[in-house]
Structure 1
Amino acid sequence: MNDAAETVSDVVALVRAGQPAWAALPVSSRVRWLARYRDWLWDNQSRLEGLLMRETGKPATEAGLEIPYVIEAINYHSRRAPRLLADRRPRPHGMLAITKRQLIVQRPYPVVGVITPWNFPLGLSLLDAVPALLAGCAVVVKPSELTPSAVSAAIAGWADIGAPQVLDVVCGGADHGAAVADTVDFIQFTGSARTGRAIARTAAERLVPCALELGGKDAMIVLDDADVTRAANAAVWGAMANCGQMCVSVERVYVESAVYDEFVARVVAEATRLRTGIDMGRFTNRAQADVVRRHRDDAIARGAAELIGHGEGPTVLTDTDHDMVCMTEETFGPLLPIVRVDDEDEAVRLANDSRYGLSAVVFSGDAHRAERIARRIDAGAVNINDVFANLFTLALPQAGWKESGLGSRGGSDAVLKFCRPQAIVAARVAPARELTWYPYTPVRRAIMRRVSRLIGARGLRRRFA
C-alpha cells in the first residue's frame, strides 16, 4: 500500500467507524448538527473567503458567493430531509400484495467520497457533503491539490462545533483521489470528462455507485426578438465570471442575423469595461491559460477575427465555426466565440452539435418561442433570458447529458441518491401455509385463477369468464 492509499484508508476507516451511530440518530438531530455548522460558517465567513481569494485568485465578489450558496443548500435540504428520509408504506397494488404489510426504508451508503476541482473549492465540496450528511452518510472530501486550504479550514469547523466524527478531508494529488475512489461506498466526482471516465471505470469494477458532473461546452442562442442589451450582458458574465473557469460557462453564442451586429457591439463594449482584480480574477490553474491560448490561436489561424483579447484577459471572437477547437472542446477560460446564424433551426442544430450537454441559454422576447427552443436543446438544463439561473434553483435537478456526466444534483435526488431504498415486507395474516405455497392442488389453482381475474381483469366478461 502506497502512502496515499494508506492515508486515505486511515481517514475512511475513522469516519466509517462513526457512521453507524450517526445514521442511527433521528434526522432531526442531524439537522441540528448542520444548523450548528451553518452558524459556524457564518461566523468564519471572512476568514474562509480570504483563503479562497489567495488560493484561487477570485475577486472578492466571486469569493463571497460560495459560503452563502452552501448555507442556502444547508437550509433547503435540512427542511426537506425529514420528509424525504421518512419511512413510507405504499398501498398494496394487487392480489398478491393485499395480505402483506409493505415498508420502504432509506438506508445511507456508509461512506461517501466527494472529489472536487479547483474552480469552486468550498461550494462544490460542501454542496455534496451536506445532503450526504443529512442522509446519514459519513463523508470524506478530497479537494484539488491546487486549493486545499479553504476546504480543509471549512471542514475543520465540523470538529470545532463538536460534531460526530463523520466528516473529514484528505489532501493530495491524483493518487489520493484514486485512493478515495478505491475505498468509499459512493463516489461523487466533479471535474474533467477524462478523469470522470477513470472514476466510472473504478466504480464499475468495484460495483459501487458514482455520480459525475463533468465538462461542458454551453451554448447561448440569441433570437431576433431578444432583449439584446440583457443578452449581451448575460453573455459577458456567463463567459467571463470566475475567469471563465466554470463547467457551465457560456462557451459559444449563436445569434440570428437581424440582431447580430448590435449584439456583438454590445458584448465588446461590456467586455472592454471589465476591471482586472475587481471583475476579473486570475487563472487558478496556470495550465488552463495555455488551453485558452491554444483555442484562441487555432481560431485565428483558421480565419476567426479577434475583437478584443491579445492576452489572457477577456477575449471575443467572431467568424468562428465548428472546425475550430474553441467551438468543440471545453475552453474553461474567458474566451467567447460568436456565430451568426440564419434562423432558429440553424442555431439549435449547432447548439446540439457537441459531445457535451450540461446546460444552455436561450434569449427571446417570446416566452412560448423560447420554451419551444429550450425543449429542442440536448442539455440537462436550459436557462431562458438568464444565465447560471439553474445553479441557484436547488429544487431542480442539475444533471449533465452526453459526456457532461451521470446522475444529478439538486431536488429530492440530492439527498436520496446517497441512500439505498430497502424494502421490508411482513405478512398481515400468518396461516400455516399460503395459498401459493406447496402443495399445488386443482382447488387452490382454481381459487387463485378466479380471484386474480376478479381483481386484475377489466370488463364483466373477462372478470367472470
Structure 2
Amino acid sequence: MYRRRGEILQVLQDETGKVGADAQIELTMTLHHLDWAAHHAHRVLRPRRVAPGMLMLDHRASVERRPFGVVGVIGPWNYPIYTPMGSVSYALAAGNVVVLKPSEHAPRAGRWLADTFRDASGLDAVLQAIPGGPEAGEALCEAGVDKLAFTGSARTGARVMATCAAHLTPVVMELGGKDAAIVAADADLSSAADAIMWGATMNSGQSCAGIERVYVVDDVAEPFTAIMAERAGRLRAGVDYGQMTVPAQVEIVRRHIHAAIADGGVAVVGGPHSVRPPYIDPVVLLDVPEMSTAVTEETFGPTVTITVVPDIETAISRANAVDYGLGAAVFSRRRGREIARRLDVGMVSINDVVSFGAVPGLPFGGRGGSGFGRIHGAEGLREFTSPVSVSERRRVYLPTRVDSHRRRPWDLPVLRACLHIVGAR
C-alpha cells in the first residue's frame, strides 16, 4: 500500500473530493493501524493459561482465540480506506478471510484494497471486494458470513442488524455520532478553538467522530467564541478542506442550518449562504436550542454549535443528553480526566479532538445510538475471534473427588469445607 500510495491518494481525491492533506492523513492512519494489527496479533490472541481454582487443582485450563471464518465488512464513503480497514486489518490478522462491500460512492477504493492485497500476498480469496449499492450489502448479510462489521447511519444499521438477526449472525455496529466538546474555565482557549475547528471541519465535517456541539462555561464564553469566529472565518471549502461527497448530505446540512436559525440560533460565522454545492464553507452557530435538529441529529458537515452554560455540571448533562454516544472532547488544564469519566461515550480526547482514532492500541466504538462492538487495538483483534475454553485433567492424585458417582464418605464433607472457605471470602 505504501509503495502504491500515489494511486490510492489519487483515488481518494477523485472519488470523495478530499483535498490532498485529508487523503494523506487517511492513508497514514490506515497504514498505522495495519502495522499495529500485524505486529500484535500473536501476542493478543495466543492461548492464555487460566488458574483452575481450588476445586479443579487436577486440571489445566486455557482459553484459545479462534477466527470466525468469513467476515463481511460494509464500508462507508467518508473514509473509504481508513474506516473499513479498521475491521479488515484486524479480521485478517486474526486469521479470517474478508469480503468487503465498499460504499457505492467510493467503489474504486475498495477494489484497490482487494487488488493490492492480492498482488502482495498472491492469495485470491482472502480479501475480496464486491461492488454495489444497498442490494449488495443485503446480499452480503444474507450470504451466511460468520460475522459482519458495518459502518454507517443508525437507520441503515438497524436494517442490517435485522437481516443478520434472521441468521443469528453476530455484528459490529459503528454508527453515527453527535460528538460534543466541553470547554472549561481553565482551558487554553486558543488551543481549544484550533482543535475544535479542526474537529468540526476536517474531511468537510464528514466524520462520525467530528465535533458538532460545543458547551463552553460562561466565564470564558465571550473570548472563546471570538477566537472560534476568527479561526472559522479564515477557512475556505475547496482550499482547506474538500467538497461534500454525496449530494444528499448537502441538503441535510442545509436543512440543519435553516432549522438552527429558525429555532432562535444565531450564525456568527456563515449561514445558509455558506452552502454552495458541492462545497460548504464553515458555519458557527451560537445558542441553538437543545431541541433543534441541529443539536439532536447528526449533521455530518462543516458546522458547529456553541452553547454557553453556567457550569461544568450543565455542560456534562447536555453533552450526555443526545441519543448518540460515540466520542467527545474535554478542554481543561486541571479537570480533564474528571470530566471525561462522566461522559456517556465510548471515547474521549482531553485537550485535543479525535486523537483516540489515531492511537492504534485504543479500541474505537461507541454506546447507545452510536452502536456497539469495537475495532482497533487488542479489543479489535478479539472482536474478530471467538473464545474457546479448554480444560484438561492432569495425572495428579487428589485425596477427594466429587465429580463421580463413586464418591467416598469423606468427599462431601471436604466439598462442604470448600464451600465454607469460598463463602467466608
Shorter chain as denominator, the TM-score bin is: over 0.9
* Alpha-carbon distance change, 462 to 397 in structure 1, aligned in 2, over 3 angstroms: closer
Q: CA deviation at 1:105?
A: 2.0
Mapped partners of 1:363, 1:462: distance in 2: 47
Instruction: Name the stretch that deviates more: 72-81 or 322-331.
Output: 72-81
**Aligned residue in 1 for 2:348:** 382
Corresponding letter in the other structure for 1:390:
F
Partner of 1:81: 41
Q: Computing the radius of gyration over CA atoms, which structure comes out larger, 1 or 2?
A: 1
Return the match for 2:111 from 137, 146, 152: 152
Deviates more, 1:325-334 or 1:69-78: 69-78
What corresponds to 1:271 in structure 2?
232
- The residue identity in structure 1 corresponding to 2:141 is A
Query: How far apart in 2 are the matches of 1:371 and 1:462?
Result: 37
Deviation at 1:255, TM superposition (A): 0.9
Q: 2:358 aligns with which of 392, 397, 400?
A: 392
Q: For 1:49-448, list aligned pairs within 5 A.
A: 49-95=9-55, 97-164=56-123, 165-183=125-143, 184-309=145-270, 310-312=273-275, 313-366=281-334, 369-429=335-395, 435-436=401-402, 439=405, 444=407, 446-448=409-411
C-alpha RMSD over aligned residues:
2.0
- TM-score, normalised via structure 1 length: 0.85
Residues 378-431 of structure 1: per-residue CA shift (max 9 Å, x gap): 111111110011111222222201110011122211111111111233332399
Q: Any conservation in 2 of the 1:453–1:462 contact (CA below 8 Å)? A: no
Q: 1:392 to 1:449 in 2, by over 3 A?
A: same
Aligned residues: percent identity? 38
Q: Secondary structure at the match of 2:2?
A: helix
Residues 1:341 and 1:447: Cα distance change in structure 2 (over 3 Å): same
**Partners of 2:255 and 2:381 in 1: CA distance:** 40
Q: Secondary structure at the match of 1:92?
A: coil
* Structure 2 CA distance for aligned equivalents of residues 263 and 439 of structure 1: 76
Shift of 1:206: 1.3
2:356 is paired with a residue of what secondary structure?
Answer: helix
Following the alignment from structure 1 to structure 2, what is the Cα–Cα distance between the partners of residues 450 and 438? 15
State how far apart, in whole Å, the 2-side matches of 1:140 and 1:389 are.
29
Alpha-carbon contact 1:60-1:278 (below 8 Å) kept: no
C-alpha distance in 2 between matches for 1:384 and 1:175: 41
- Which structure 1 residue ranges, 5 or more long, are not aligned? 1-40
CA deviations on 1:235-293 (whole Å, 9 max, x unpaired) are 11110111100001111111111111111111111111113323120000110000000
- CA positional deviation for 1:94: 2.4
> How many residues are aligned here?
414
Q: CA deviation at 1:169?
A: 0.3
| 1:25-64 aligned within 5 A | 41-64=1-24
Query: Structure 2: how far apart are the matches of 1:213 and 1:126?
Result: 13
Per-residue CA deviations over 1:324-380 (Å, capped at 9, x if unaligned) read: 1101000000111111111111111111110001011111121xx221111111111
Question: How far 1:435 sits from its partner (Å)?
Answer: 4.3
Q: CA deviation at 1:199?
A: 1.7
Query: What residue is the counterpart of 1:19 in the other structure?
Result: none
Query: 1:75 deviation in Å?
Result: 1.8
CA distance in 2, matches of 1:359, 1:262: 25
Letter in 2 for 1:160: D
Q: Give the direction of change, closer, same or farther, for the CA distance of 1:462–1:256 in structure 2 (3 Å limit).
A: closer
- Residues 15-56 of structure 1, C-alpha deviation per residue, up to 9 Å, x if partnerless? xxxxxxxxxxxxxxxxxxxxxxxxxx0110011000100100
Query: Does the residue aligned with 1:207 lie in a helix, a strand or coil?
Result: coil
Superposed displacement of residue 221, structure 1: 0.8
SS at match of 2:83: helix
> Quick one: which amino acid aligns to residue 381 of structure 1?
M
- Contact persistence 2:402–2:412 (CA under 8 A): no
Aligned equivalents of 2:152, 2:269: Cα separation in 1:
29
Q: Distance in 1 between matches of 2:263 and 2:383?
A: 45
For residue 455 of structure 1, report the CA deviation from its aligned partner: 4.2
Q: Kindly state the Cα deviation for residue 436 of structure 1 after the two structures are TM-superposed.
A: 4.2
Contact conserved, 2:87 with 2:376, CA < 8 A, in 1? Answer: no
Measured in 2, the distance between the counterparts of 1:280 and 1:57 equals: 9
Q: Is the 8 A contact 2:283 2:304 kept in 1?
A: yes
CA distance in 1 between counterparts of 2:142 and 2:43 reads 32
Confirm or deny: 8 A CA contact 2:34 2:85 kept in the other structure. Answer: no
SS in 2 for 1:220: strand
C-alpha deviations, 1:195-219, integer Å up to 9, x for none? 1111222232211211101010101
User: Residue 58 of structure 1: SS of its match in structure 2?
Assistant: coil
> Deviation at 1:101?
2.9
CA distance in 2, matches of 1:177, 1:108: 22
Map 1:11-26; keep pairs closer than 5 Å.
Answer: none
Moved >6 Å (runs of 4+): none
Structure with greater helix percent: 1
Counterpart residue number, 1:31: none
Deviation at 1:454, TM superposition (A): 4.6
Amino acid at match of 1:303: G
1:458 aligns with 421
Amino acid at match of 2:294: C
Q: Which blocks of at least 5 consecutive residues in structure 2 are unaligned?
A: 276-280
User: Does structure 2 conserve the Cα–Cα contact (< 8 Å) formed by 1:101 and 1:426?
Assistant: yes
Query: Which letter maps to 2:8?
Result: L
Q: Confirm or deny: 8 A CA contact 2:45 2:94 kept in the other structure.
A: yes
Alpha-carbon separation, structure 2, partners of 1:391 and 1:446 = 61
Q: Contact between 1:94 and 1:456, CA under 8 Å: does it hold in 2?
A: no
